[in-house]
Chains A and B, each alone.
Chain A
């Protein structure tokens, strides 16, 4: 057998070239993970959402588990942009992959203040504008549901920074395609879909809402079909790349997102379950593409087959009941 060339895992997000399409999801990663996982293997690193000024997070409990996933309402505690640059960014610089800084704000103005503070800072390769956090007491979520507001926020950030700007979209809207189009119109280099799905957990025994803020964001394998649908809808609506996120935990999951239209993927909850999932997936993806004879990972993007799957039964089905015997019940 002849040795095939190793598959090309590189992907482009705007002017940014990534060594592979796998990166962490915002809030589910920090350089602290570098103590147990080789972060140099990642396509990129994504920070927790940074606000302009310092803010505290939400009351306990901030986490709860649910079937096939989890609810969180951490609420984006932040040291503020200055604190981030001083305390956390130096630790990102110790690793080779590009750092994508997630940017947050409760008002349009607050996004711009944060963008101005971080513009031109060494070691920031791109911004992911979080117009989608389900756990903020004001603004964030609603803002991400209004196309005109998303367009203004993205344009305002694009105007203030020199690196690619990615818009992170919420699934908690009627038409994610409209929001994706607004982000593209604002000048986004890519969109990330999706942030957490708004949920509620109840303790039947104590009659208490399990999460401190009552509602929280559902993440993990349970939301994968929703995320896939959103990626597919967003990818059909815009020309810019889509970064897929939501319930990814295996090589198959990654391939599914690529087929649905994603150029790259992010992993959040899966890193909690098995901290080295991203690295295992990068290895597994290369092996899988090689085995399938796929030369470049980008060949898969958007290659989803739709429409009724073809089964040629080579005959004509007769809908009338069989003459004898009783129908077999389906279990």
Chain B
């Protein structure tokens, strides 16, 4: 996945930020002791770090930068961005759930309790829950599922009805269901291996539920973003709600995480000025439709096609 530009999508900063606009909470640099680092699914581990300062101020959808090089090591040179999966303010710990995909995460899997790892956070702008929201729909796919758990907990805590769709290639790679259920959300698990993650099928399933939501959240899948956008902007016939909010959490290769290296720009090239930075202006953006897409959608609706027709052609982004 990474910073593949989203075609036909305008990203709206959320909330608006300029250079050096104050972070939601100022980030901290800590040498955080590892409390635990245990497998939770195939190729997934849950890392628990003692970081009371970060735990105290982290908000849903924010992330940390974890340095892979140990104290005294010079490489790997880049720290890894990782969403905050869980926050335990009482214990002063944060959890990160990560998938082993390459050299850095493979090394992380070797971290032992008691080791101190260089950690910077909380970083970025997280999810916002609209005031008076009564129900929200949250999509997570692959490692994107790790970014939404704090949102789910926050929302259920506020009394919001939360439906979570978790998607993966197959059952073994599904992540986050237990955490979301414990928080009180309804969880729908879908996988590629039995076809249930197909956006058209999913759209029908969600449409037949006869339910519209006040906000839609997506992490880890362009196809799900398309789907969420369609559900949010053109809900099933008979419903009154239109243009519900869509928020998407993006990924990009990062070096600093603080907004000064410009390694993580989110936009398409060829624009006259720099596009939003995923680390500083995101990772969560409000999703806005372009006119071209609206026109395409109007065409589709005019011929009476399925709500989700066309969504399936969008390339998939997550393992």
Contact, CB under 8 Å: B19 / A68:
no
In B104-146, which residues have CB < 8 Å from any A CB? 104, 118, 120
> Across the interface, which residues of A come within 8 angstroms of B319, CB to CB?
none
Q: Could you list 5 further interchain pairs (A-B, Cβ under 8 angstroms) beyond the known A33-B260, A62-B265?
A: A28-B255, A57-B275, A60-B5, A65-B77, A275-B29
> Hey, what's the 0/1 contact readout for A7-37 against B, CB within 8 Å counting as 1?
0000000000000000000011111110111
Contact between B260 and A68, CB atoms less than 8 A apart: no
Which of chain A's residues have a CB closer than 8 A to the CB of B78? 63, 65, 70, 272-273
Contacts of A212 in B (CB 8 A): 269
**Are A77 and B265 CB-contacts (below 8 A) given A63-B253, A273-B74, A274-B67?**
yes
Complex interface: chain A residues within 8 A of B260 (CB) = 28-33, 48
| Cβ distance A292 to chain B, nearest Cβ, rounded Å | 21
Taking beta carbons and an 8 Å cutoff, which residues of A are in contact with B? Answer: 27-33, 35-37, 48, 54-65, 67-70, 72, 74, 77-79, 87-88, 91, 212, 220-221, 249-250, 269-276
In the assembled complex, the Cα of A36 lies from the Cα of B272 at a distance in Å of 32
Q: B265 is contacted by which of A35, A60, A67, A269 (Cβ under 8 Å)? A: A60
Question: In the complex the two chains form, what is the Cα distance from A212 to B267 in whole Å?
Answer: 13
- Alpha-carbon distance A310/B245, docked complex (angstroms): 74
Whether B264 pairs with A62 at a CB distance below 8 angstroms is: yes
Is there a chain A Cβ closer than 8 Å to B243's Cβ? no
Is B69 among interface residues, defined by CB-CB distance under 8 A?
yes
Residues of A within 8 A of B26 (CB): 35
Q: Say what secondary structure dominates the interface of chain B.
A: loop
A221-B18 contact given A56-B270, A56-B274, A58-B269, CB 8 Å threshold? no
Q: How far is the CA of A54 from the CA of B27 in the complex (A)?
A: 29
B76 at the interface (CB under 8 A from A): yes
Chain B 231-263 against A: per-residue CB contact (8 Å), 1 yes, 0 no?
000000000000000000000111110111111
Kindly provide the distance from the CB of A45 to the nearest chain B CB, expressed in whole angstroms: 11
**A201–B97 CA distance with the chains assembled, in angstroms:** 29
- The proximity string for B residues 265-280 relative to A, scoring 1 for CB distances below 8 Å and 0 otherwise, is 1111111111100001
Q: Is B9 an interface residue (CB 8 A)?
A: no
Identify which of B3, B4, B74, B254 contacts A270 (C-beta below 8 A).
Answer: B74
- In the bound complex, do residue A249 and residue B18 qualify as a contact, i.e. CB atoms below 8 Å apart? no
Report the Cα distance A91→B120, complex, angstroms. 21
- The residue in chain B whose Cβ has the minimal distance to the Cβ of A77 is B274
